[in-house]
A and B are shown apart, each in its own frame.
Chain A
Amino acid sequence: MKALRTLPLATVLSLCALFLTLSCGSADRTSGDGTTNPDLPFTAIAPAIPLTSVPLQDYLVYSNALSSDYIDTLRSDLAVFDNWNGAMTGAEKATLQSLLGIQDATPSTLSMWFKERMKYIVANDLGLYKLGLVFGSQKQVGLQVLGSSSNTDPANTGGGNMGSAIYLTTLDEQKSRPELSYLILRINDEWVPVLSPRAGLMRVGPALFSNEFQINHTNIQALSNSLQRLEVLFHEARHSDGNRAANSVGFSHINCPNDGSVPAELVGVPACDDTVNGAYSVGAAVLKPLLHLCDAHCTAQEQTILRGIYLDRLSRVIPAANGTMKTLDPTPETGFNGIDISTFQAFNLR
């Protein structure tokens, strides 16, 4: 089966729009020499901060562009994980260890696995963010506002891993613009370099929070709703993995095949994995033991819905015809070399 790995449509459309704009390449010559002053000074690449045992809810950086309701809800979700006792069956533990490549699946090790892959939560509307194109050899940074989100209905958008999407798009753009070193994205008071898919950028959309998409319609922070969102968060974290050598960058989804192996309603939609350790498997494997929390704290109806979500995730993993599932290499991409851009000149792109 020839599978085409694809990025989520919304991400592709928005980033294509971005680079179609950039392809004009003309600078806004507002000053005599064409340069401008960024409203936030560029900085040197900060050394990687060692991962700590700080709770997940305090570890993530939330964009100021997010509504406070979204942030409160996400913090509440992550608090559920932070306070989880880690009760799971032997089979659940073994699955997690195998999928995530960790020695002992505990809340602590799962939390650390997540922190390695996810750091920033940004709003769905990418038009709210300023982007910089770093041209290392020219010691310049071209600035522009990131293109408007997408042509799809944003109400249906739950989330997406922007780090891997921007990284892959940068690689593609470098084919025609070899002087482009990498991209930086302004989040709050920080220029975040997207050096690899492990930049840890996740955008969150209305579907994660709107009442219509919730399991419990009366309490957005109900345990059942939190578990649903936690599944999405860990799913997205997997998209930070992979490398070009193994053709596994971003663990992208593939079009669901029309061979009777997956639900007919998914055929042709880029919503399947042909590997055993893809994002759908990771999300399901994390959700499964968390469902034990629901035994005492969710209604029978909520449990039925969560089981439906679990099944939905599993249904997107294409079984191997010979019974042996393919495993993708999760080794992270080395990525671009960071550059000290603190002395770089900025110019506006239009």
Chain B
Amino acid sequence: MRRPVFVGAMLLIALIAVIYGKIHLDSLIKEGRLETSIAKVPVGDDYKQNTIDLGVQPDPNQTQLQDAPPHATGSAHQDVMAALVEARQSFKNKEAVTSEAAADPHQTPNAVIHSAEKLGEIVTLEQAHPEYSPEFQAFYLECAKDPDVITVTRVQCVEKYVKSKKLNASEETQLLSEVDPVVKRLYLQIK
């Protein structure tokens, strides 16, 4: 008599576990934490690790950038971070500016245009995702201070940071004391 009761109880516990598991999995999928289709980001010879997004120095033996989060992962946060990584890479193209300016001094180098284009995408993304303002602001700040980034882009990053952070005059002055003098001069010139 007691055996059917025991089996029934076990089945009930199993059913509860399955229902709980299903709810939990749905939650993970909804948050994008269980995405399985991982795309690749472009990796060139001069590809450098971006520390702003990962927060740690890369292990030179690792190739995890190959598996960096793609766009449209289903997770807004991952999409934003992937876009920031991609934009930072496109900003570090000073050599192209040099060669293009030498080839034709009368036209703005395509590298500058492409970099501004990427920055424009980030600004649009920021407008769509104000909940990630700290990430965007960190991005703008590191861009503004990075000597490897195209100078004109650095000036634009200062502009975006000041606006996003709503800096007051003294905070702005403090920021400008920390950036390259050419960046500071150009920022003040167009302010």
Contacts and interface: CB of A to CB of B under 8 A. Distances in A.
Contact of B152 (A270, A279, A315): A315
Contact of A311 (B106, B117, B156): B156
A302 B106 CA distance: 20
Interface in B23-42: none
B124 interface: yes
Bin chain B's interface residue count. Answer: 35 or more
A208 B152 contact: no
A152 B105 CA distance: 12
A308 B113 contact: yes
B135 interface: no
Contacts of A309: 108, 112-113, 116
A338 interface: no
Contact of A207 (B104, B151, B155, B186): B104
A266 B113 CA distance: 16
Contacts of B186: 311, 314-315
Contacts of B116: 304-305, 307-309
A158 B106 contact: yes
A157 interface: yes
Nearest to B185: A319
Q: Is the interface of A mostly helix, strand, loop or mixed?
A: helix
B110 interface: yes
B77 interface: no
Contacts of B189: 314
A263 interface: yes
Bin chain A's interface residue count. Answer: 35 or more
Nearest to A212: B110
B151 A315 contact: yes
A10 B119 CA distance: 31
A300 B120 contact: yes
A308 B107 CA distance: 12
B152 A312 contact: yes
Given A304-B119, A308-B112, A315 B106 contact: no
Contacts of A93: none
A304 B181 CA distance: 22
Interface string A286-321: 000000000000011111110111111111000100
Nearest to B93: A265
5 contacts: A9-B102, A208-B107, A265-B150, A269-B102, A301-B123
